[in-house]
Amino acid sequence: MSVMEISHRGPEFAQILQASQTRLRQLLAVPPEFHILYMQGGGLALNAAVPLNLSQGKGVDVVVSGSWSHKSLLEAGRYANAQAAADSRQGGAPGWPAPATWKCRADSAYVHFCANETIDGVEAPQWPDLRALGLPSCAVVDASSNILSRAIDWSRLGVVFAGAQKNTGPAGLTLVFVRDDLLGRALPTCPSVWNWASLAQQRSMVNTPPTYAIYIAGLMFEWIAQEGGVAEMERRALERSQRLYACIDASEGFYGNRVEPQARSRMNIPFHLKDPALTDTFVSQAHEAGLLQLKGHQSVGGLRASLYNAMPMSGVLALIDHMNAFARRYG
Ligand code: PMP
């Protein structure tokens, strides 16, 4: 029988789930006071599940650094008094709003930020320490597109969540790390299957969990461990992205990336051609060369290379070769 056929309540699946969480805890050095919850619904469901579990009728401050955090702000506003603590989309180059400029309320329930803006290619260079900034509330981090690509300092955090489909495994699983003292704050309207206290108590089995996605994620955690752990994933992410940015920057404007240099993402690299009319030609010639998925997100256009943990360096080098050849042909 396959993992999809066996009962999720049986000892075989219990072992698969337990082993995957143990390995994940090791990989990210998650301290005992954090629960690892396996949820469903992806990053967008968490935009609702976080305020439903944490807001307690208080304010919610959201740092807007691009498209995904803007969505988080709008969704939180359906359940709580949400406001933008900063908004780097207001003019200028896409970037990471300096934490010292965040306007957070002293009594807000939490401050939400997005560790990596997948569409805009903006990554927080460091995760801020709210206490050092004089802010009492806890940090909630959307790490959907860069989880497991850098170490996490848990002492600064309340909640981290991440949809699995980028650095972890198949879509359908959402990783949620919650500090123990934050359980038990859910609004009465919070759906039972999203209640973190119940999920923690029932070891993520309030209802049928996404068993196949959990199984594959467990294999991925083993692979990361064998390859050298999160430190090695971080080293590779830096190497991959630095090579690609270097190619863009050396192209004398043929290719461009508008993100502020210190906030350039190691995971998602949006870029554009000086002559946007060549974009479709670039994409189709790349496709012929076996380089896929390079079209920019539909909301922003242009081009984007997503360099997740599974991308080998050879893939980046092939893309760079193609970009250089294309620039020679059309530049
Ligand atoms: N947050 C971030 C940073 C994302 O990249 C995404 C998906 N690309 C989401 C949230 C939404 O995730 P999902 O599609 O799993 O709901």
pLDDT at residue 147 in the model: 98
Do residues 279 and 130 make contact, with C-beta atoms less than 8 angstroms apart?
no
Over range 69-83, report the average pLDDT: 98
Q: State the average pLDDT over residues 80-87.
A: 97
- What's the confidence (pLDDT) of residue 134? 85
Three-state DSSP state, 37: strand
Instruction: Answer yes or no: is the C-beta of 198 below 6 A from any ligand 1 atom.
Output: no
Q: Which atom of ligand 1 is nearest to the CA of 115?
A: 3
Number of residues written out for the chain: 331
Average pLDDT, the chain: 96
**Site to substitute for ligand 1 among 118, 140, 268, most atoms within 8 A of C-beta:** 118
Mean local confidence (pLDDT), 200-220: 97
What pLDDT was estimated at residue 16?
Answer: 97
Instruction: Answer whether 308 contacts ligand 1 (Cβ < 6 A).
Output: no
Q: 211, 8 in Cβ contact below 8 A?
A: yes
Counting residues of the chain whose pLDDT is more than 70, the rounded percentage is 100
| Residue 145 CB less than 6 A away from ligand 1 | yes
Bridging pattern class, strands 59-64 and 110-114: parallel
Give the Cα-Cα-Cα angle 172, 24, 263 (nearest 5 degrees).
80
- d(CA 157, CA 177) in angstroms, rounded, equals 10
**In this structure, are residues 271 and 302 in contact, taking their beta carbons and an 8 Å threshold?**
yes
Backbone φ and ψ of 125, nearest 5°? -65, -40
Shortest-distance atom of ligand 1 to CA 42? 15
Establish whether residue 163 lines the binding site of ligand 1, counting it when its CB lies within 6 angstroms of any ligand atom: yes
Answer yes or no: is the C-beta of 144 below 6 A from any ligand 1 atom: yes
Task: Report the predicted TM-score, pTM, of the whole model to 2 decimal places.
Answer: 0.97
Residues 168/92, Cβ–Cβ less than 8 Å: no
Q: Give nearest CA residue, ligand 1 atom 15.
A: 42
194 annotated active-site: no
Say if CB 207 and CB 193 are below 8 A apart: yes
Q: Is the per-residue pLDDT at 91 higher than 80?
A: no
- Within 10 angstroms of residue 136's Cβ, the number of other Cβ atoms is 12
pLDDT band at 92 (very low <50, low <70, confident <90, very high): confident
Can you give the pLDDT at residue 232?
A: 98
* Most ligand 1 atoms within 8 A of CB, residue of 72, 119, 144 to mutate: 144
**Which pLDDT tens digit goes with each residue over 300-326?**
899 999 999 999 999 999 999 999 999
Q: How much is the pLDDT for 148?
A: 98
Give every CB contact of residue 274 below 8 A, 6+ residues apart in sequence: 253, 254, 255, 256
Torsion of CA 150, 152, 158, 161, to 10 degrees: 30
Is the CB of residue 166 less than 8 Å from the CB of residue 145? yes
Whole-number Å distance, alpha carbon 26 to ligand 1 midpoint, is: 24
pLDDT recorded at residue 79:
97
pLDDT of residue 182: 97
Quick one: pLDDT at residue 18?
A: 97
If you average pLDDT over residues 221-236, what whole number do you get? 98
* Choice among 61, 120, 127, 142 that is catalytic: 142
For residue 140, give both structure tokens.
């909630």
What are 94-136's pLDDT values in tens digits?
Answer: 999 999 999 999 999 999 999 999 999 999 999 999 988 888 7
If we measure between CA atoms, which residue out of 295, 247, 253, 258 comes closest to residue 274? 253
Distance CA 205, CA 9 (A): 8
Which of 308, 310, 304 has the alpha carbon at shortest distance from 266?
308
The predicted model gives 131-160 an average pLDDT of 93
Among the listed residues 127, 166, 194, 196, the single catalytic one is: 166
Pocket test for ligand 1, best of 68, 140, 308 (most atoms within 8 A of CB): 68
Q: Provide mean pLDDT across the span 49-76.
A: 97
Instruction: For residue 166, indicate whether it is catalytic.
Output: yes
pLDDT of residue 299: 87
Identify the band that residue 263 occupies on the pLDDT scale cut at 50, 70 and 90. very high
Q: What does the pLDDT look like over 16-44, one tens digit per residue?
A: 999 999 999 999 999 999 999 999 999 99
Q: Please indicate whether residue 68 is annotated as part of the active site.
A: yes
DSSP state of 270: E
pLDDT for the residue 277: 96
Q: How far is the CA of 208 from the centre of ligand 1 (A)?
A: 22
Cβ(51) to ligand 1 under 6 A? no
Residue 43 in contact with ligand 1 by CB distance below 6 A: yes
Phi, psi of 272 (to 5 degrees): -135, 165
3-class DSSP state of 136: coil
Question: How far is Cα 18 from Cα 231, in angstroms, rounded to an integer?
Answer: 23
Amino acid at 61: D
> Which ranges of the chain would DSSP assign to H, the alpha helix?
11-27, 42-54, 67-76, 196-201, 211-227, 229-249, 279-288, 313-330
